Amino acid sequence: MGAMMAPVDPCATMIPALSIRRAALLTSLGIAAGCATVPPPAPPDAPEWQSLQLPGKRATSYVRVTCAGRLAWQAKGDASASLWRRKVDTAVTHMTEVEFSWWLPKTIADADLGRAETADSPVRVVFAFSGDTSKLSLRTRLQFQLAESLMGEAPPYATLMYVWDNKAEPESILPGARSDRVRKIVVERGEINLRRWKTYTRPLFADFQRAFGEPPGRLIGIALLTDTDNTGSKVEACYGDVAVRP
């Protein structure tokens, strides 16, 4: 799964092909508003936690456990792709930092986020943002319309992910495998930090601006994402709580 999507041609003749790939499209768009135990304010009607299962995809399991001595969300992926999310609504300033952590016993041997065909990752922390969609290309707006019709909710204007990859150097920015509205910042590579808790503190405003070339809009969601659907793999991972400060 490549956080994110197969391009939508505006021609009507492309629509049947799109329906076959709709799960990849929805995943690519990062239709998630996330997960945080120490979260910014949520909309009044938003559930505390919510699973987002994609059409045609097996769901990844997320459960609360004690993992390597810490309370955590444990993800179990088995040729699956789904998100564990929480909607939020807060401004992002130059001072905004996010902190997250994960624990991973093994990587996905055949995964490569640089290739759509193998774009799986054992751990991703996802941040979704609002913005002016009228500035986007016609192709992207058509993608958004298709995704909203299938899922009943509009995709985020932009999605920023922090990921663990097998190949890319840390601090590399990878485009979404199927959507230009997704950027992935590699914060961990290879196997050197397996079987230990790793905590990261990131400047959300600066990371977004570096990835997308513009300031971020409001933060509208945070999610966890363990996906193994493209490689057909099995993997387990643990996530600590996600904090947004100030």
Q: Which two tokens stand for residue 186?
A: 């590699």
pLDDT at res. 26: 55
Q: Domains in the chain: how many in total?
A: 1
| Residues of the chain above pLDDT 90, percent | 69
**113, 165 Cβ separation under 8 angstroms:** yes
Distance CA 186, CA 113 (A): 10
Choice among 14-18, 146-150, 222-226 with the minimum mean pLDDT: 14-18
pLDDT in tens, 65-108: 999 999 999 999 999 999 999 999 999 999 999 999 999 999 99
CATH number for the domain spanning 223: value is: 2.60.120
- Other CB atoms within a 10 A radius of the CB of residue 130 amount to 16
At residue 209, the 3 state secondary structure works out as helix
pLDDT at res. 112: 95
Q: Looking at the domain assignment, is residue 54 inside a domain? A: yes
Q: Looking at the domain assignment, is residue 2 inside a domain? A: no
Which residue(s) pair with 173 in the sheet?
Answer: 185
pLDDT band at 1 (very low <50, low <70, confident <90, very high): very low
Distance CA 141, CA 147 (A): 10
Q: Looking at the domain assignment, is residue 53 inside a domain? A: yes
**4, 181 Cβ separation under 8 angstroms:** yes
Q: Looking at the domain assignment, is residue 7 inside a domain? A: no
Could you tell me the residue range of the domain that residue 88 belongs to? 12-245
pLDDT in tens, 167-182: 999 999 999 877 889 9
pLDDT at res. 67: 98
